[in-house]
A and B are shown apart, each in its own frame.
Chain A
Amino acid sequence: MPLTLERRMEPSRTANILVPILSVLLALVAGGVLLWLVGVNPIETYKAMLHGAFGSAYAISETLVRATPLMLTGLAVSVAFRMLFWNIGAEGQLAMGAFAASGVALFLPKLVPGISAWWLLPAMLVGGFVGGALWALIPAMLKAFLSVNEIITTLMLNYVAILWIQYLYYGPWKDPLGFGFPGTAPFVDAAWLPRLKDTAWLPQLFNTGRLHWGLALAIVAAFVVWLILGRTRWGYEIKIIGENPRAARYAGISIVRNILLVMILSGGLAGLAGFVQVAGISHRLQQGIAVGDGYTAIIIAWLARLNPFGVLLVALLMAALFVGGDQIQISMGLPAAMAGVLQGAILFFVLGGNFFTQYRIRWTSRQAAVTGHQ
């Protein structure tokens, strides 16, 4: 065989950057073929998606709004994936974060009448974090103490969490004045995350749309995660466990403790995504809070190679696909699910492309191929 494979000593830097970019392009080509097969002009569709996601100041703000929970769930998942804890449960942790933040928003003002946003919003934020973290602790404890497969448990708990919030907004928390609308009563004004257009000192750029301060929270969260992973002993321990659990055990690193702590952080971050959705966008707990961001987070984390700042960037790209997908549904009557198809395809290409960051393909003479093979 004149074609030989060599394992690279170091992952290729060029390939590291090229693979995600090429993956996105190839996925767009594959999606284009699918569109063409169902009788739609792919170029027109992509143009409409691009315009829908970035075509105006309002479109850009919608894309950023959509990106905010994706950034937080993407961070949540990437923290857990760092130590090879497969948290597929960000969806449910987001739902439980939304539930807890909503609980605070609905009932704290009744206990403390006239509470100001300066107290209520932080209380909701803490509620969201704790709600997600506690939910994540269930599979974390099952894994840490009984080694129960976390992929299955985190996933099953997603369905349970979503059914739980459905129970609340169809049942005991349902808005009595809502004419049967599946949702709680709207929160008091103090529980609304301020919009950027209402913030006087910001430049004109942000004077439109629903963009809210949750975006800043996501960016701060990325910094915090970066600090923890790259600059602390804890982050170092997480890295070692992820790369070589046996070595970690020999080095005296407690795996049980780290599973629990990492899942508190991971679930908490996903819970914050739930908090920003109810406090920033819906202003109530309602249908459509858990729309799959916990699953998209897996693609984001992997595409970003678990890098916190990469997560911010990739979340933006995924948000653009979603907002663009909504746009083609409105303007061209095409399924918005196109976004999901493209995202899945991107992940396939990234996975395939990783091969080229780790291996080098060489054309060699027959002679060299024989001697090169020990």
Chain B
Amino acid sequence: MDLALILSILAVAIQAGTSLVYASVGEIFTERSGILNLGVEGIMIMGAVTSFATAYHTGSLAAALAVAVLAGGALALIHAFLTISLRADQVVSGLALTIFGTGLSAFLGQRLGPAGKPLVGLVGPRFRPVAIPGLSDLPVIGNALFNQDLLVYAMFVLVPVASYYIYRTRPGLHLRAVGENPGTADALGIGVYRSRYLYTIFGGMLMALGGAHLSLAYTPGWTEGITGGRGWIAIALVIFALWNPYRALLGALLFGGVNAIQFRLQAAGATIPAPFLNMLPYLFTILVLTLVTIYEKTSKHVGAPAALGLPYVRGERTG
């Protein structure tokens, strides 16, 4: 493989991986606070449909992102209310969110076009690559990294900021405390319920932005099931990343790379039938998840927050 090919694969990998980074960083914040949100797929797809519909009708990409963030926050709030206040099972509530979001997105996708018509097949405004003067002219990697859309650049900022916040700031320390040992955190005066609500909603907002990147940049437009399981891949990435944003970025690029190679092979008229190429990201997820699980077992390294998935009830023992 020559360098130009590798670089063009990297450019596509970044594009394909961006939605995964937003979604998995959102899930990292949520899980760090002790809440498992399996509704990523449903929130992403709602982010995709609401942002595309808004962009189509208003012509404003900023408004589109704002609406996606609101929708994502609202859906995550349902999950937060059910699991934190009503102590519902986090697994089932997350699944409910995915089923609900998928159904609602299909419903809205068939109604939100002009005059109550479907959104499918419409062309709206989209995020286009913006070359950063100077940086995009850098030798070798310049074009792949710095001739991308705004959401990609925002992602380059999001990852270090998220990592710094989680590991190097006081609120980040509190966040980790709430997820590791809510009883102790509570005794130290950290509001367990409040932070869980906060980070679950914030996480949902990021997931919705991931969905918006799909319908506004990566595969512009609306099609039913546009997320194609990316929400679930993002959840797997969080496990792969051991709840660390930088590793999530790395994993997302790896998955993006699998996507990019898959397109390359398809375009090159490979003899492998398309359905088999389309299986690659899903099979790859299973393989990576298996390897990481074995690694965690043998190295005795546990990445998951200790209180993940357990409801916290003040004054009651959990677990």
Contacts and interface: CB of A to CB of B under 8 A. Distances in A.
Interface of A: 34, 38-39, 86, 88, 142, 146-149, 151-153, 155-157, 159-160, 163-164, 166-167, 170-171, 295-296, 298-299, 302, 335, 337-345, 347-348, 351-352, 354-355, 358, 373-374
Given A146-B294, A335-B111, A341-B100, A348 B282 contact: no
B106 A335 contact: yes
Given A146-B290, A348-B96, A351-B89, A163 B106 contact: no
A347 B100 contact: yes
A151 B278 contact: no
B185 interface: no
B285 A156 contact: yes
Contacts of B109: 337
Contacts of A88: 95
B151 to A, nearest CB: 25
21 contacts: A38-B116, A88-B95, A147-B293, A148-B286, A148-B293, A149-B293, A151-B91, A152-B286, A156-B286, A159-B282, A160-B282, A302-B92, A335-B111, A340-B103, A340-B107, A341-B103, A347-B99, A348-B100, A351-B82, A351-B86, A352-B82
A149 B282 contact: no
Nearest to B294: A146
A159 B41 CA distance: 14
Given A156-B283, A351-B92, A352-B88, A335 B107 contact: yes
Nearest to B118: A335
B56 to A, nearest CB: 16
A354 B88 contact: yes
Contact-size category for B: 35 or more
B99 A299 contact: yes
Given A148-B293, A298-B95, A352-B82, A345 B100 contact: yes
Nearest to B100: A344
A65 B138 CA distance: 63
A342 B87 CA distance: 22
Interface in B141-168: none
Give the 9 A-B residue pairs with the shortest CB-CB distance, closest first: A340-B103, A344-B100, A337-B106, A335-B110, A167-B275, A347-B96, A351-B88, A337-B107, A355-B86
A163 B278 contact: yes
B286 A348 contact: no
Contacts of A152: 232, 235-236, 239, 285-286, 289
